Chains A and B, each alone.
Chain A
Amino acid sequence: MQFVLFLFFIVVVPNVMGETKPLISLGATTIQPIIESVKSSYTHKTGLNIVTQGGGSDLGIKNLSEGKINIAMVVRDLTPDEKSRFDYAVIGYDGVAMIVHKSNPIKNLSKQQLIDIYRGKIKNWDTLGGSKKSIILISKQSNRGLLYLFEQGTGLFHPSNNANSNPAKKIASWAWDAGSNNDNIVWTGGLPNAISYISLGSALSNIANGMPIKLISLDGIMPSTKTILNGTYPMIGKLTMVYRKNDSDAKHFVEFLLSEEGQKAVRKNKFNGVRDAQ
């Protein structure tokens, strides 16, 4: 395994460090695959290299503020302060989908059931009519955009969030904190008793790739283009690209993402484009 890791450093590290003055986008892993899928075509067109990293919406904003990167990828709502400090553009819409393993018989959860699961009141699937197995609870790290969306949708808070001291509103301490969407997806796909929330786009891409997960409806509403765009689905996120006001390279790239070609990439990654809502 050490050898694999060694190879990993050889292959990946030069890719990140090698180029001069690339355009760096960092933040929500939800958006990352969109950037990955357009970057080579964009480089080919403009000669400008694109480097993209995950780390979550908050880390993106932080690095942007510090001038380390060009673009922050954010899935949560921007604060008024952020809106005033930076330029930004919504390049697509996403839902926070609830996923379980494909073999799990559960098809729907009420919002209350979802809250009870995540605050640790319901610990076993048999309470919900499933098999007699403990629920493996999967949440998100505190700096992740999807956590914000989940918190908004459920009224619960990450256990490390000191702003909220009401224990009844805390996500269970034993919940696994996922970083990237891939954590949520692979854990849920790999462990038949897991439950997780995740970007709908990522979920749909992975289901299309054969990952053994499935979506469950919330209060009977399944996340879809329709329920996201008409606002009936309770947890909706905006895929937002944030950049400094004078960064023309970044602006140019964001405009590219809003172009027909960029939006195609958004839809290809199972997200909803900005014009789909109209």
Chain B
Amino acid sequence: MHNKNFLLRLITANTIILFIVFGTFYSVFNFMDNKLKNILEQRQTISYFYNAINRVSSGLYQSSMLDNPDYLTSAAISSNEAVKLLDTLKKNGFDTRSLEENYNNFFRYTVITTTFGLEHRLEESRGANEMSQQQQQELLAQLETIRNEIDKEQNRIIATIESFMGISSILLIIVVMVNIRLLSRSFILIRTKESEQAEMINALGDGVYGVDENGNCIFINRSALSMLGFYEHEVLNKDQHHMFHHHKPDGNIYHAEECPIHLTLHDRRTRHVQETFIRKDGSMIPVSLTVAPLGSDKGIVVFQDITTMKEEYDKLDYNANYDYLTQLPNRRLFIILAEQKMAQAKRSNELLAIAFVDLDGFKNVNDFYGHEIGDMLLSAVAKRFKSVLRESDIIARFGGDEFVILLDTLKSESECEQTLARIIEEAVRPFLIADFSLQIGASIGYTIFPEDESNINFLIQHADNAMYDAKQAGKGTLRRFQL
């Protein structure tokens, strides 16, 4: 924007300067040229006048010499031309008064010279001829003076035109030099800015590259190259999609038409997406990328390697859903999974059971052997319980010594009771932990879905209540929730 204004101002200033300089030069030149033409006309008129005088003279003397008055007519006509030429000079602003007087005298005495001759009066003719000669000399001298004046004027005008041309040339050179200086300064400024921008882009931790309208890479920064494992020359002017964006993480071919970078090149809209790039060595790199239009038909892509972030995220996700001690789903995940199973069971008209398990005697182990042993015991209990269950069943630890079990696709309540009875058996079987043989038990309350058609939280509550009843009835007991 700044550059555009600068150029516009420069062009305007140049136009104005050139207009003023050459406009002035043109009008001065025209004025001088007209003056020069006028002078040349005057010069020509004078030269015609000179010729007319000669014709007057020769006509008259011919008449006298050949004793023939007929030549007088041609002399008179030549004299008319001479007088007309004097009028022309006068119209052109020349002061012809003395020239006119001189000419009249010249004509007067030359005619007398001739007519004396024609009268055969030679003495008088000779006398008149002297006068005539004198007048002619004066006239010619005057013409010479005028010619010299005209020459001087002509030279003066030519010198003026030349000096104007000189001044104009100098002005033009100055204008050109100022232009060069301003342009080169602005060029250097632009170059500096450009290289600074390039450095900035290179210095960015994010990967940055540009693509032309065909998706070919037009620039790429160091971060991008190091992330992707390419050299710059391997990527430049090549289709980036074919270089490091050709496959999806699942191994399927990633068609260019679906690529957000290509889409942005077409619709000129900025996109923020997570994609996977493929390194030169074939390994994958998850990236978060922003693609934005650049200029009128290009695009710029900024991306970050999100491998670490993704790992962190997954870890956080796991901790949020699993019990760190037993590696069993926690209450949160259990509820999500159980709801899915319930929906499925409802669709396929199947039964499922939610069982609440509370260990008997765990508190004593904890108090007697310490938390460390207690934790190890819980871990072992979880493993043993899991071994009893099918893959599709779910067991979660709800905290302390409480576990919740979802039994999937049950054919009957008895199948449920059998499984849960086995859980109790497994709980009762002594655990060998850190050379200690530990004896605990389990009390279980359960409820059957969809017979007990409540939401998952109520189902868990119901199972808990049933477990409480079982505990009341004596440890190691299995009890179904009663509506």
> Do A and B belong to a common assembly?
yes
Q: Point out residues on A near B: beta carbons under 8 Å.
A: 1-2, 4-5, 7-9, 11-13, 15-16, 29, 32-33, 51-55, 101, 103, 136, 176, 179-180, 182-183, 185-187, 189-192, 206, 209-212
Query: How many angstroms between the C-alpha atoms of A98 and B215 in the bound complex?
Result: 108
B73, A180: Cβ atoms closer than 8 Å: no
Minimal Cβ-Cβ distance residue in B for A101: B80
CB contacts (< 8 Å) of A13 on chain B: these are 122
- A8 pairs with B119, CB closer than 8 A: no
Cα–Cα distance between A74 and B234 once the two chains are bound (Å): 129
Q: What's the nearest-Cβ distance from chain B to residue A36, in Å?
A: 9
Contact check, A186 vs B80: say whether CB atoms are below 8 A apart: no
| A183–B73 touching, CB < 8 Å | no
Q: Are B115 and A179 in contact (CB under 8 A)?
A: yes
Q: Is the CB of B118 within 8 A of A182?
A: yes
A13 to B120, CA, bound (A): 8
Residue from A12, A29, A190, A209 whose CB has the most chain B CB atoms within 10 Å:
A190
5 smallest beta-carbon distances between A and B, as pairs: A54-B119, A190-B79, A189-B76, A4-B61, A190-B76
A241 to chain B: closest CB distance in Å?
Answer: 17
Given that A8-B117, A187-B108, A187-B111 are contacting pairs, would A211 and B73 also be in contact in the complex, using a CB cutoff of 8 Å? yes
Which residues of the partner chain A approach B118 to less than 8 Å between Cβ atoms? 54, 180, 182
Q: How far is the CA of A191 from the CA of B73 in the complex (A)?
A: 12
Q: By the criterion CB–CB under 8 Å, are B77 and A9 in contact?
A: no
> Are B76 and A179 in contact (CB-based, < 8 A)?
no
* Chain B neighbourhood of A1, CB < 8 A: 57, 61, 129, 132-133, 136
> What's the Cα separation between A101 and B120 when bound, in Å?
27
Q: Nearest residue in B to A192 (C-beta to C-beta)? A: B83
Inter-subunit contact A190/B119 (CB<8 Å): no
Q: How far is the CB of A232 from the nearest CB of chain B, in Å?
A: 30
Complexed CA–CA distance, A16 and B136 (Å): 29
- Chain B residues with Cβ below 8 Å from A7 are 65
- Once bound together, how far apart are the Cα atoms of A29 and B111, in whole Å? 15
| Chain B 43-84 per-residue mask, 1 if CB under 8 angstroms from chain A, else 0 | 000000000000011101110111101101101111110011
Nearest-CB distance from B6 to chain A (Å)?
66
Main secondary structure of the interface of B (DSSP, over half): helix
| Minimal Cβ-Cβ distance residue in B for A3 | B61
Q: How far is the CA of A173 from the CA of B132 in the complex (A)?
A: 21
A55 touches B133 (CB 8 A): no
> Is A29 in contact with B122, judged by CB distance below 8 angstroms?
no
Residues of A within 8 A of B75 (CB): 186, 190
Determine if B122 and A183 form an interchain contact, defined as CB atoms under 8 angstroms apart: no
Q: How far is the CA of A29 from the CA of B77 in the complex (A)?
A: 22
- Min CB distance A16 to B, Å, is 5
- In the bound complex, how far is the Cα of B104 from the Cα of A211, in angstroms? 18
Q: How far is the CB of A8 from chain B (nearest CB, A)?
A: 5
User: Which residues B90-126 have CB closer than 8 A to chain A?
Assistant: 104, 107-108, 111-112, 114-122, 124-126
Q: Is A189 a contact partner of B73 (Cβ separation < 8 A)?
A: yes
Contact of A211 among B60, B66, B72, B129 (CB under 8 A): B72
| Chain B residues with CB below 8 A from A209, complex form | 70, 73
| A186 in contact with B72 given A55-B119, A180-B118 (CB within 8 Å) | yes
Query: Contacting B120 at CB < 8 Å: which of A53, A176, A189, A191?
Result: A53
Contacts of A4 in B (CB 8 A): 58, 61-62, 64-65
Q: Which residue of A lies closest to B132 (CB)?
A: A1
Give chain A residues whose Cβ lies under 8 Å from the Cβ of B120: 12, 15-16, 51-54
Q: Is the CB of B80 within 8 A of A212?
A: yes
B136 contacts across to A, CB distance below 8 A: 1
The 23 listed contacts between A and B (C-beta, < 8 Å) are A1-B132, A1-B136, A4-B62, A5-B61, A8-B61, A12-B64, A12-B67, A15-B120, A53-B119, A54-B119, A55-B121, A180-B119, A182-B72, A182-B115, A183-B112, A186-B79, A186-B114, A189-B72, A189-B73, A189-B80, A190-B111, A192-B84, A211-B76
Task: Report A-chain residues with C-beta under 8 Å of the C-beta of B79.
Answer: 186, 189-191
Docked Cα-Cα span, A182 to B118, in Å, equals: 9
Give the residues in chain A near B111, CB-CB below 8 Å.
182-183, 186-187, 190
Given A4-B61, A5-B61, A212-B80: A191 touches B72 (CB 8 Å cut-off):
no
Given contacts A12-B120, A53-B121, A54-B118, contact A187 B80 (CB under 8 A): no
Q: Which chain B residues numbered 130 to 168 have a C-beta less than 8 Å away from chain A?
A: 132-133, 136
- How far does the alpha carbon of A182 sit from the alpha carbon of B113 in the complex, in Å? 11
Which of B69, B73, B114 contacts A210, CB < 8 Å? B73
Cβ–Cβ contact A190 & B80, under 8 A: yes
> B115 to A8, Cβ gap below 8 A?
no
A residues less than 8 Å from B57 (CB atoms): 1
Question: Which residues of B lie under 8 Å from residue A8 when comparing CB positions?
Answer: 61, 64-65, 117, 125
**B70 to chain A: closest residue by CB:** A209
| Extra inter-chain contacts (7) besides given A51-B120, A183-B112, A190-B78, CB under 8 Å | A1-B57, A54-B118, A101-B80, A136-B104, A182-B69, A186-B114, A212-B77
